[in-house]
A and B are shown apart, each in its own frame.
Chain A
Amino acid sequence: MSTFRRVFSSSVGTKLLIGLTGLAMFVYLILHLIGNALIFAGPDTFNHYSHALISNPLIIPIETGLLLIFLLHVYKTIVNYFSNQSARPTGYAEKKFAGHTSRKSVASSTMIFSGLVLLLFVVIHVKQFKYGAWYLTTTAPSVRDLARLEFEVFRQPLWVAFYALCTIVVGLHLRHGIASGFQSIGFDHPVYTRRLTVTGVVLAIIIGGGLAFIPVWVYFTQ
């Protein structure tokens, strides 16, 4: 096997890839949340921001890159999940959280499931918005009226509930994912690692909560 393939198929290399792709998507999520939050500034601002994004010539390579990162993350985590399962063919009759210094949590124990929920969610979300109804604004210059689509969707309580739930799952996934990603790529520091773990949890709450807040806000105010 070539060095390159060897490094990324080993247990440590696999985790590096998962960590790096995960952290990349975490950065993307921060930007996405900021972008989404522009809805609070009114439909026009939001639409112009969205137009600026999609009319940028760099959007194709960036989206392709994002897709590749996403697919790599999904592929590596699923393969890794099965190889980890095979490392313990016979399970325990009784197994408890060890407590003490352990960082094990509901979030960390359900990463593969929260991940699969998010996979489904992303497909639905992209289809619904990126490839959804293409309204145009009535005011010049005429751009895509994404805000209208958003208001239409989030006027339906079932969609609001679905989005709120899924974005909370995003938060859950991040709760373990942020600190774990840094650990996987080899970051450790006597002081900052601890702060990072705490910051990771705070950011997970902000991102998950923020993303969940938007559909709810739309539902109640628009």
Chain B
Amino acid sequence: MALDPKVPGGPLAEKWDRHRFESKLVNPANRRKYTIIIVGTGLAGASAASSLGELGYNVLSFCIQDSPRRAHSIAAQGGINAAKNYQNDGDSIQRLFYDTVKGGDYRSREANVYRLAQVSVNIIDQCVAQGVPFAREYGGLLDNRSFGGAQVSRTFYARGQTGQQLLLGAYQSMMRQVAKGTVVAFPNREMLDLVVINGQARGIVCRNLITGEIERYAAHAVLLCTGGYGTAYYLSTNALNSNVTAAWRAHKRGAFFGNPCYTQIHPTCIPVSGPHQSKLTLMSESLRNDGRVWVPKNPGDKRSPEQIPESQRDYYLERRYPTFGNLVPRDVASRNAKGVCDEGRGVGESGLAVYLDLSDAINRLGVEVIKGRYGNLFDMYAKITGEDPYKVPMRIYPAIHYTMGGLWVDYNLMSTIPGLHVLGEANFSDHGANRLGASALMQGLADGYFVIPYTVTAYLGGTTLPAVTTDHDAFKEAEAAVQQRIDRLLAVGGGKTPRQLHRELGAVLWDDVGMARNDAGLRRALARIPQIREEFWKNVSVPGPKNNLNKNLEYAGRVADHLEFAELLTLDALHRTESCGGHFREESQTPDGEALRKDDEFGYVAAWEFQGVGKAPALHKEPLTFENVKLTQRSYK
């Protein structure tokens, strides 16, 4: 099957306008006759639900949380990018586009990224109109900060709670549509299968997490806005309930998975404190604007930080990257942190941490200013570690944070299953091999507010969709399969908890498919993952009822899917023998240890087609062509 990204013709800057003009429309009076299922209520899902509801479609919105407002977008701290150029510092749509393509290490689709940069300006307008309380200057204009490697200040923020405020804005808009009756919200539902009829996505089967009932819902199109798969690594900054299940089940029904090996490790997380650790907490990398990263010069130096004199400190990012210093992209910062810890210069009890020191900024700007900028982050750090970051430098270490890979989609955000659209982190499209800070929020809202209303309309208006009810055999078959899987989980009755097995999987992925990957390690992981999967199905323990709230049963199902998915992730990492962005292959690096891309060999999107559990998936390639940017090897020296 040839992958057609359906990128419209014409000059880059005109593609989206041209595409919108050429796309089919649906008459306002006819829209309520179309039902659209949206799975997930994060920034992408909630914004899609509200904007499609506003258009008059009949929207069914599902989420696994007890309220749409709790989706994990809420935890994003730092900000949202937009090419507003409010600071008069040289920003433009072209520059945001360029930075994003370059930041993604030339592994994203040009046309998608340009559209993202174009609509970024509308996002801010929309959010402000909703009442999102972005930070303002004294005189009333919006404030911006520079973020994660950008040379311009284009990041809008609401304290350290930008994701929360943007999500609440989208959630409130969605609630408005719920009150109007255009959107029906189904919280506490987990999508467990996609129903494909005549090759078109026509519905979902989900489990009501409160009653345990398996429910069927039919629609004319299905939108997956279910986030990334970072929890495959067990410890990540993702929420505990984040999972790959919806995307994986869609993949098993025929949606190709794009670039699963592109995972992002965030450099500024609070280090692991012990084996009980259930998740990791991110500290916004905006801290790197005012913070300096360092470790002792001498390996094994276990003195407390204030006892280490300036001359014996190694500000290794400033030393190695004089231009960008502490603001190098996430992957570079993460790998360097791992590097110095591998040299035995890590700090803290575990030796798996580096210092992020804001004392210079505190001395320069005063405690009050720092408190204003990072107060809530400092509080969070103090709460978790019991240390006062105003006095002692913070300890940070990288952790899995975001996944650039996801279900493959074309320019219309439609997967290889007609009618199945994938938005936000769940798709693969805009960030290439590495996502820039403050761009995830931008993409989620761009997809939901400004892209999908046009592209799903074009699909509905231009496609013959025969009437389908939930009595269709495909629904019955899907429900039976879901039920059987649940019964199977409950029947194992083994001696290990899903969490133990998940932790084992996570350790394999972190060690061998983590920040730096090599052939031997990846092959080791490929051998190990099926073993854990086998043990899971023989030895997992899932007690408790199925017709009731059973969080362990939910969790077991997600771990089971991670155990299938992890193999694909590893396989993709093994096949891509170049380094790019978040994917660093030790075999492919420059003499001074930087990531070395192989554009001729790997300038494509790897889209994998499911062939059966434990069977090798089929690889399809979407070549990436760059007509508007010149490919350079990234350098942040």
**Direct A–B contact in the complex, CB atoms closer than 8 angstroms:** no
Chain A interface residues (CB < 8 Å from chain B) = none
Which B residues fall within an 8 A CB radius of A?
A: none
